């Protein structure tokens, strides 16, 4: 259907267009009468024509699609070939390295075994006795140092809790007691901290002594 959307349209032209549609409608109606078909039959025929045109358009695109697919498949083949070559280069490079790593692991294990033998029963008895004494004292010093650090941390934590209680308490006596405990615990933590440097120095001395004895034990 035509609508008068422009004031400049020529009325005669519009009438001619409408008359043309009527003539087409009359011809369509005549064809339907001559063929014994209905409007539904015509609609189905038109829809079938549209589907066939769409199908033909898809068919016509097949050569272009085929050419593009061949190009993509060629690129895929090139990429697969490059990957295969890269994997071969990687294998050729890493396989000797893997074998060398295995050899090095075996050699390192043998060296560790040799260290154990030199520092073990085959070592001089006096050196073994001195090593045992140094290691006993070193282990004790390390344990003590760890205990002292934990004690400092615990005293600091409890002191913080006490200070918090002193600030929050609504009772003067309770607040005063909590504040005093906090001071005592902070003081205890400080006392322990003062002892740590000397103990750490002792540990360093023992570690050096241990290293010196081990060096002597490793001599043939």
- Contact 188/155 with Cβ under 8 angstroms? yes
- Contact 134/216 with Cβ under 8 angstroms? no
Grade residue 2 by pLDDT with cuts at 50, 70 and 90.
very low
Question: What is the predicted pLDDT for the residue at 107?
Answer: 96
The whole-number average pLDDT for the span 17-24 is: 53
Q: Who wins on pLDDT, 118 or 181?
A: 181
Chain segment 189-212, per-residue pLDDT in tens: 999 999 999 999 999 999 999 999
Q: What is the dihedral of CA 138, 141, 142, 147, to 10 degrees?
A: 160
Query: What element of type H or E holds 202?
Result: helix 172-217
Q: Which two tokens stand for residue 56?
A: 């033909």
Q: What is the secondary structure of 119-143 as a DSSP string?
A: HTTTS-HHHHHHHHHHHHHHHHHHH
């Amino acid at each position: 259907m035509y609508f008068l959307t422009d004031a400049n349209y020529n009325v005669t032209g519009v009438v001619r267009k409408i008359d043309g549609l009527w003539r087409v409608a009359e011809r369509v109606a005549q064809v339907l009468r001559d063929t014994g078909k209905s409007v539904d039959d015509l609609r189905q025929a038109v829809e079938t024509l549209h589907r066939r045109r769409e199908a033909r358009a898809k068919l016509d695109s097949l050569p272009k699609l085929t050419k593009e697919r061949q190009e993509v498949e060629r690129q895929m083949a090139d990429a697969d070939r490059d990957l295969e070559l890269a994997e071969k280069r990687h294998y050729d490079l890493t396989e000797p390295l893997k074998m060398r790593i295995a050899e090095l692991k075996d050699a390192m294990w043998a060296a560790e075994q040799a260290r154990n033998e030199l520092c073990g029963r085959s070592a001089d008895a006096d050196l073994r006795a001195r090593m045992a004494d140094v290691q006993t004292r070193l282990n004790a010093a390390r344990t003590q140092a760890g205990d002292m650090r934990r004690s400092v941390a615990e005293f600091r934590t409890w002191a913080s809790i006490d200070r918090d209680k002193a600030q929050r308490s609504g009772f003067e006596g309770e607040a005063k007691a909590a504040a005093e405990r906090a001071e005592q615990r902070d003081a205890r933590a400080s006392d322990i901290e003062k002892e740590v440097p000397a103990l750490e120095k002792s540990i360093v001395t023992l570690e050096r002594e241990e290293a010196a004895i081990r060096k002597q034990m490793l001599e043939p």
